[in-house]
Structure 1
Amino acid sequence: MDTKAMYKLSYGLFVCIAVRGDKKNGCITNTAIQVASDPNRISIAINKANYTHDMVKETGLCSISVLSTEATFDIFKHFGFQSGRDVDKFGTNFPADSYSMAENGIPYITTGTNAYFSLKVEKEVDLGSHTLFICEPTAMEVLSNAPSCTYQYYQDNIKPKPHPVGTTPKGETIWKCLICGYEYVGEDMPDDFICPICKHGKDDFEKIVRQCLNVQLAKEE
């Protein structure tokens, strides 16, 4: 099978936020969709490796902030390229004027977004790597008229374009994550390898070989 066909599916991009005790945390997800209208229901699938997953599962509450085309790469990097187990994503390094608090006590992002939803989990479905949460919207609001950010728009217009692949005198084999750019060094990548940054598996890595030709260019820069 050509697994790159998966990239042809269209997705929006969102920040899913949960609160447990004094801890606020969020992660980037591309799996929030309306699955029913009467009653209105929204589903979100969250990778079990994400700290936010455990918080939503335990509390049964979360918010979804819809990212817009005005979002900068910083918000993707902040919520998607680091774990809430290691950092406080709502600490002093995240501006307080970039989010507000909903009535359910869970933050929603106000910068680079066009809407938010407060959600209450009704059902869970175990999907292996992810848990699918079926949720009732308890509040929602339009924040701006900017178009929603699709995954394709993020790849084409927000995500920084990679520099030419780096160089090593040994011409080492590199496996590069197509999602976040993380590089795994080694001739063979384990089949069960999970990207430590974006949590995607081996299927989302491409094998590249660094060229010795660029060594001099790197030195000249």
Structure 2
Amino acid sequence: MDQKAFFNLSYGLYIISTSHDGKDAGCVANTLQQVTSSPQQMAVTLNKDNYTEQLIEKSGRFCGAVLTQDTNMEMIKTFGFQSSKDADKFEKVEFKRDVHGIAYPIQNVASYFSVKVVQKVDLGTHVMFIGEVEDAEVLAEKEVMTYAYYHQVKNGTTPKNAPSFQEKTEKSGWRCSICGYIYEGDPLPEDFVCPLCGAPASVFEKI
């Protein structure tokens, strides 16, 4: 099977967030989509190992924020390459809360949706949450970031927990454990600094 066929599917890039029992969580995802227009329903698929997924299971609600093309890699790193269990991802970003207290970012966001989960589907390693949209708002009239733009222009990579992750065996080198940037070559210079997130060589992992 040609794995590259999957690369022709079109995706957006979003931050999925939730809050439960005083704890906020959020992650980057490319799987948010509208599934029906009447009623207005959306679905998102997240890995079971994802802390945001685990809190959605408890809260029964989530917000989806549509990222714009001017989103910086620092924000992607914050929400995409660390766990909300260990870090307060909303500490350094502008955010609001919906009427149910769910935190969602507002900087570099074109629009947001507040969703109540009405059904979930177990997909083995992942869970699909299907929910009714209770509120939505356009926050900025800007070009939204597609998954292709993220890879081709931002030179971004995909976290292992993402549904679209594919192990790339054709490349050899070193991967930044913070943002996912790949340095092709061996050895990795001791004084190398990640061009995306500024992390030192010590956090790079051999691939």
TM-score class normalised by the smaller sequence: 0.7 to 0.9
Residue of structure 2 aligned with 1:158, choices 140, 154, 157: 154
- Residue 75 of structure 1 and its aligned partner are, at CA, apart by 1.2
- Report if the CA contact (8 A) 1:17-1:106 is conserved: yes
The question of 1:135 aligning with 2:98 is answered no
Distance in 2 (alpha carbons) for counterparts of 1:85 and 1:122:
25
| 1:185-218 alpha-carbon deviations (Å, 9 max, x no partner) | xxxxxxxxxx4xx5569842224345xxx77995
- Residue 99 of structure 1 and its aligned partner are, at CA, apart by 1.0
Gaps of 5+ in 2: 174-184, 193-207
Distance in 2 (alpha carbons) for counterparts of 1:204 and 1:5:
15
| Alpha carbons of structure 1 residues 69 and 215: separation in structure 2 relative to 1, 3 Å | closer
| Alpha carbons of structure 1 residues 219 and 121: separation in structure 2 relative to 1, 3 Å | closer
Q: How many residues align?
A: 181
| Corresponding residue number in structure 1 for 2:38 | 38
| 1:31-84 alpha-carbon deviations (Å, 9 max, x no partner) | 111110111111111111100001001110110101111211111110000011
| Alpha carbons of structure 1 residues 9 and 215: separation in structure 2 relative to 1, 3 Å | closer
- Report if the CA contact (8 A) 1:73-1:159 is conserved: no
The SS at the match of 1:208 is coil
- Report if the CA contact (8 A) 1:70-1:113 is conserved: no
Matches within 5 A, 1:12-23: 12-23=12-23
TM-score, structure 2 as length reference: 0.79
Structure number with greater Rg is: 1
- Residue 219 of structure 1 and its aligned partner are, at CA, apart by 7.9
Greater share of residues in helix: 1
Gaps of 5+ in 1: 161-177, 181-194
TM-score, structure 1 as length reference: 0.74
The SS at the match of 1:18 is strand
Runs of 4+ more than 6 Å apart: 214-217
| Corresponding residue number in structure 2 for 1:2 | 2
- Report if the CA contact (8 A) 1:15-1:28 is conserved: yes
- Report if the CA contact (8 A) 1:14-1:64 is conserved: yes
- Report if the CA contact (8 A) 1:179-1:204 is conserved: no
The question of 1:77 aligning with 2:73 is answered no
The SS at the match of 1:206 is coil
